[in-house]
Structure 1
Amino acid sequence: MSRKPSPAEGALSAWTTRRWLRVGVATTLLVLAVLGSMGTWAMWRTSQLTTQVVDRRSPALVASIRLEASLINQETGIRGYGLSGRAAFLEPYRQGLKDEAAALTRLRPLLSRDPQGRADLAAVERLAGTWHDRVAGPLSSATAGEVVKIAGARTAEGKATFDRLRAAMTRQQTHLEARRTGASGDLRDAITLRNWMFTGIAVVILLVAVLVFEGMRRGITGPISTLGAAARDVARGRFDRSLTVTGPADLRQLASDVDLMRRRLVAELESSEASRGLLDEQAADLKRSNTELEQFAYVASHDLQEPLRKVSSFTQLLQRRYGGQLDERADQYIGFAVDGANRMQVLINDLLAFSRVGRVHNEHQSVDLQRVLDDALGNLSMAIEESGAEITHDPLPTVSGDTTQLSMLWQNLLSNAVKFHSPDRAPRIHVSAAAEGDHWRFAVGDNGIGIEPEFQEKVFILFQRLHTKDAYPGTGIGLAMCKKIVEFHDGTIGIDPDHRPGTRVVFTLPSALPDAPDAADPGTRP
């Protein structure tokens, strides 16, 4: 049985990477601030104790020793002067007075914040003053003749007074030594504490660094690496690999989104596989249908042509032999049969030509459209002459395509332009050409009867006729074949809706290969 997460764990699981980073950085800064404060206090404490030992306790003890030495020098000089009466012994006394004054000047501020030190110094100064007043002063001011007598009278008092002074100075130095020793001990303890504290700070900083690294590894880099490895497995084709990671909420959400994308890709792949299977089936059906179409074309071009030629030949024989010998109705029936057989033969030939586009003739090369246009005009010379058509053209380029198919394209377009001319005016046909990127844009415009806007798309459908066969002969395959040829050459074809009067068919063809010859010179052909 899995353990149910506590409310605290549930709340922490909703934390994002940004929140974890904010909390981690804030906690780290707080710890560093506390550690910095402790280190600063330790340094301040050590500095204070060092200052106390170096600048106060040791100088005070030295000054006390110097004070004692100055008093001893004074006592030695006074005693020598009192015993011998020689003035030379007063020189140490006078120097001692100066040294005493200097020592007191140095010692008083050092003991200003030490009550015990001030009390000891007051006792020394009091006893020194007594000794000066009772012994040193009278002896130093006496003459050489009187001094021996005065010294003899005050020897015992002077000795007792100076012994008390010496004892006071000894107490003072003992107290100062004790305080200096205590301050030195406090300094050593402070230095030890400082060293331990800085060692602890270093350990804590190292621990924080380890915790930060481990937290980054478990909370960020680890989940990202796991997600990356899973994503790479999916990229290698293991689409069944589930993408689940632990860590902050946003990384888990990212993993969930990536896993959702994986599931979507799996679904799309399954759909694509199904579609590909269906396409394979349709391709097989299309291949079978194309094979059947080729078989039909073979049958139509061979098996159907022969009986159709027999029907046409014998109906024509009936028309020639018995024409005028039967009644008018019989002649009409025979004419219908001959016309139907001829139109059936034309229709079969057109269907064969339509089915061969892109299948039989499929040799792309550089094609000189000027030459192709000249051939088409030559084939249509009789119709052009009978209609009185005038055909002009722009300089025609060399394009990439199949010569046979492009010849059929130009012949169908020019034939329609001549055939569907207006009875009120002579046909005027113009072929234009303009470069558009890697294609050429052509237009065959005339001034004929035109095509109504609602029929401009339907005319490219197979067997779509806008007029009866009696008004304009044909099978309705011409423009459908033109559309198939143009699209086979990766072009487009359509009717210009703004051209008036007549019709303008606009289509595009790919430019010639890089080594294609230059376009033919422009010309005008009546």
Structure 2
Amino acid sequence: MRTAQNSEPPHDEGVFSRWTTRRWLRAGVFVTLAVLAVLGSLGGWAMWRTSQITSELVDRRSPALIEAMRVEQALVNQETGIRGYGLSGRPDFLQPYTQGVADEKRALRQLRPLVGDDARASADLAETEKLAGIWQQRIARPVSAASPQDAVKLATERTAQGKTAFDALRKALTRQQAHLQDERASATGDLHRAVTLRNWVFVVIAVVIALVAVLVFEGLRRGITGPLSRLGTDAREVAQGRFERSITGTGPADLRRLAADVESMRGRLLEELTFSEASRTLLDEQAADLKRSNTELEQFAYVASHDLQEPLRKVSSFTQLLQRRYGGQLDEKADQYIAFAVDGANRMQNLINDLLAFSRVGRQYNDHQRVDLEALLDRALDNLSVTVEETGAEITHDALPTVVGDPTQLGMLWQNLLSNAVKFRSPDRSPRIHVSASREDDTWHFAVSDNGIGIAPEFREKVFVLFQRLHTKDAYPGTGIGLAMCKKVVEFHGGRIRIDAGHEPGTRVAFTLPAADSAPAASQRKTQP
């Protein structure tokens, strides 16, 4: 008994050897997403850092330095206006001072929130405001509030004090701006470094993404497409006839299992092929024996139709001559023996003729064409017209179709079926025979029904056996080959024949034939005997 090979893949050591393609893909996707998440976080952090430093520089450091310079410019304008008014006593020289006071207030309102988070800048601003307040309290406000004559005198008296106070204010302003410039330069440096870091981060991200893409492609090639390609190549070679080629699986566990299943299938196919070759060899030997038997059967048929018929005709002729010449001249026993010889010779001749006709079915009569069964039935009725007239049989039939088959064999079929229906009639009633036809899908169903003596249930299969007789030759003549002939003709045309067990009284022989392309509509008409 042939058995299939084991389909389990070979066991490899190691945890990863049991991983399937789905598990490898899941792990690969998870690792790739993790790497991309880390890279995305780094890129986002680099962008956020660059944006933060840029905002610090643009929104705080540079505006703080600008506003500090505006404060200085406003104080210088105040000092210029006070000095001009103190020297000339002309009120119009106070216009720069008035404008400077307004500009100072506006610049300080902008500067204070910009340096609020920087302790050193806040300290510088506080010192600047303190020194500016001292100078304004001691010099600027008194001089600007005095009359032109008093302003000149007051300015002259406080020249040294004013110079000392404003110089201290200048130093404080210079120190403040220097600190702000340092912070702006530091922020600028931080921005350059952040931009450089951001650029390198994105370069690394691009390189890592390219590397991940290469690794994914290589992993798919090595783990999936490569093993599948090799498996497909091996399978195609096996499909082309190289059944001895072994299929070895590589890659993930499921692909190895698939390869093992294909290898098992290859082994089973190889076993089946070996068995088929042996069966074909045996079949060829049987075909040769059958061909030899057919040849011998043809030789026998030739001998039966020629060599046996001639001496049989001679025996039959001379026994008939003996019966005609000496009939009644000899004793009763002699006449009985002569009658036995004549009857035996005639029966042997009929038996040989029926055997020849049975052997020719499918061998000599094999001319398939479109056959009108209606015409064949009419021909069979013509051949049986004398018997039909003598028995008073009434034969009706449905409209019969056109089928594809051998007209000689199908004619023999109708002849035997109708002849049996008339022959095995009941002595109590006139024979009534009906031929029905109906189509189901691609098959025609026929039935020859009679009201004769019927067939016992135990003999419904035996009647199709060659030389199977249910009655003696004295009761019903014949060789017992008619229904066997019908069975051979129907099966040769691809149909089936049987005795309908549900028909009473009488017998119904039902058989099928494949349908041709078209068939006439069923209708019933009566054929007069």
TM-score, structure 2 normalization:
0.93
| 1:72-114 alpha-carbon deviations (Å, 9 max, x no partner) | 1111111121122221221111111111111111111111001
What amino acid sits opposite 2:439 in the alignment?
A: A
What amino acid sits opposite 2:354 in the alignment?
A: D
Cross-structure match for 2:527: 524
CA contact (8 A) 1:443 1:506 kept: yes
Pick one of 488, 491, 499 that aligns with 2:492: 488
CA contact (8 A) 2:75 2:104 kept: yes
What amino acid sits opposite 2:178 in the alignment?
A: T
Question: Cα distance 1:491–1:152, how it changes in 2: closer, same or farther (>3 A)?
Answer: same
Cross-structure match for 1:458: 462
CA contact (8 A) 2:399 2:520 kept: no
The correspondence of residues 79-478 of structure 1 with structure 2, limited to 5 A, is 79-478=83-482
CA RMSD of aligned residues (A): 2.2
User: How far is the alpha carbon of 1:171 from its aligned partner?
Assistant: 0.9
Question: Cα distance 1:52–1:374, how it changes in 2: closer, same or farther (>3 A)?
Answer: closer
Question: Cα distance 1:8–1:177, how it changes in 2: closer, same or farther (>3 A)?
Answer: farther
User: How far is the alpha carbon of 1:522 from its aligned partner?
Assistant: 4.5
CA contact (8 A) 2:398 2:522 kept: no
For residue 508 of structure 1, give the secondary structure of its aligned residue in structure 2: strand
User: How far is the alpha carbon of 1:372 from its aligned partner?
Assistant: 2.5
Question: Cα distance 1:91–1:513, how it changes in 2: closer, same or farther (>3 A)?
Answer: closer
User: How far is the alpha carbon of 1:470 from its aligned partner?
Assistant: 2.1
CA contact (8 A) 1:435 1:441 kept: yes
What amino acid sits opposite 2:292 in the alignment?
A: R
CA contact (8 A) 1:227 1:243 kept: yes
The 1-side partners of 2:515 and 2:237 are apart by: 47
CA contact (8 A) 1:368 1:520 kept: no
Cross-structure match for 1:60: 64
User: How far is the alpha carbon of 1:321 from its aligned partner?
Assistant: 4.1
| 1:397-420 alpha-carbon deviations (Å, 9 max, x no partner) | 333332322222111111111111
What amino acid sits opposite 2:163 in the alignment?
A: K
CA contact (8 A) 2:309 2:349 kept: yes
For residue 10 of structure 1, give the secondary structure of its aligned residue in structure 2: coil
The 2-side partners of 1:8 and 1:404 are apart by: 72
User: How far is the alpha carbon of 1:472 from its aligned partner?
Assistant: 1.4
The 1-side partners of 2:288 and 2:406 are apart by: 28
User: How far is the alpha carbon of 1:486 from its aligned partner?
Assistant: 1.6
| 1:360-391 alpha-carbon deviations (Å, 9 max, x no partner) | 22222333333332332233233223322222
Aligned positions, number: 519
CA contact (8 A) 2:249 2:257 kept: no
Question: Cα distance 1:182–1:445, how it changes in 2: closer, same or farther (>3 A)?
Answer: same
- The answer to whether structure 1 residue 503 and structure 2 residue 503 are counterparts is no
For residue 429 of structure 1, give the secondary structure of its aligned residue in structure 2: strand
| 1:484-516 alpha-carbon deviations (Å, 9 max, x no partner) | 1122222222211111110011123344577x9
CA contact (8 A) 2:438 2:445 kept: yes
User: How far is the alpha carbon of 1:471 from its aligned partner?
Assistant: 1.9
TM-score, structure 1 normalization:
0.93
Moved more, 38-47 or 397-406: 397-406
The 2-side partners of 1:518 and 1:401 are apart by: 20
| 1:198-244 alpha-carbon deviations (Å, 9 max, x no partner) | 11111111111111111111111222222222222222222222222
The 1-side partners of 2:216 and 2:517 are apart by: 66
Question: Cα distance 1:400–1:521, how it changes in 2: closer, same or farther (>3 A)?
Answer: farther
CA contact (8 A) 2:70 2:103 kept: yes
The correspondence of residues 23-62 of structure 1 with structure 2, limited to 5 A, is 23-62=27-66
The 1-side partners of 2:223 and 2:508 are apart by: 71
CA contact (8 A) 1:400 1:513 kept: no
CA contact (8 A) 1:458 1:464 kept: yes
Structure 1, unaligned runs of 5 or more: 1-6
